[in-house]
Amino acid sequence: MRVNENVIAALKKAASDSGQPKEVAQRLVAWLDDLATGSVDIASQSDAWTRIAGLLEQVKLPTDEAELALILGEE
């Protein structure tokens, strides 16, 4: 693993604090690791979108409508 342990810990905590499954942080770390090893290029949009599509499948939405409205209000 070529990703700094502080970054890994921060991603895990941020995902957990947002009520997201650990797979969200794992996928982000895997993406960083692949970039660090050079197996993918940060400039590759097609790779980025494939990974984002996979990430979105892991993201859990809150069931509370008020919370959903709050999230949308952030944008």
Partner 1 sequence: MVQVRLLGWKAAGLRCPDHEIDLTRAGGEPHHVSLIQMPNGTGKTTTLELLRAALSGPSAWPDSVMLGEYAPRGATGRGTFEVRLRVDKRRFTIEMALDFDEGKPYYRTTWTSSVARFTRPPSLSRVLTPEFTPFFIFDGEMAQDLLDPKKTRARQALEVQFQLSNLLRFQGYLDEYWDEKSRNVSAKGDKGLTQRKNKLADLTKRRDRLKVERTGLVKKITDLEARHTKLDAEYKARFDQDSKAQEEREHLEKEFERAKDNLATIATSSLSEARKPQNLSPRFTRGLQALRDNLDRLKLPESAAKEFFDELAHDAHCVCGEEMTEARKASILARRQNYLGKEDMGVLNAIKGAIKDMAGASPESYREAFEANLLRLRNAVRERDVAQNELASLEQRRLAGGDAELSTLKTQLDDLVRELDTARTRLSVLDMDDDGDQGDDTDSIKALAKKIKRAGDLVAEATQTRDIRLKTTILKRVISAAVTSASERIAQELVAATNKRLEGILTRSPLRVADICDSVVLDGQTRGSPGQTLALGYAFLLGLFDAGQVSLPFVVDSPTGALDKNVRREIAELLPKISQQLVAFTTSSEYEQFVPVLDRAAQGDVQYLTMFRLNDATRPLLDGLASESVALSANGALVSSKQFFQGFDSEAYGESQPARAA
Chain residues in the site for partner 1 (CB under 8 A): 2-4, 6-7, 9-11, 13-15, 17-18, 20, 24-25, 28, 31-32, 35-43, 45, 48-49, 52-53, 55-56, 59, 61, 68-69, 71-72, 74-75
17 token code pair: 């604090």
Which residues fall within 8 angstroms of residue 14, CB to CB, at 6 or more apart? Answer: 25
Rounded to 10 degrees, what is the CA torsion of 13, 56, 69, 14?
A: 10
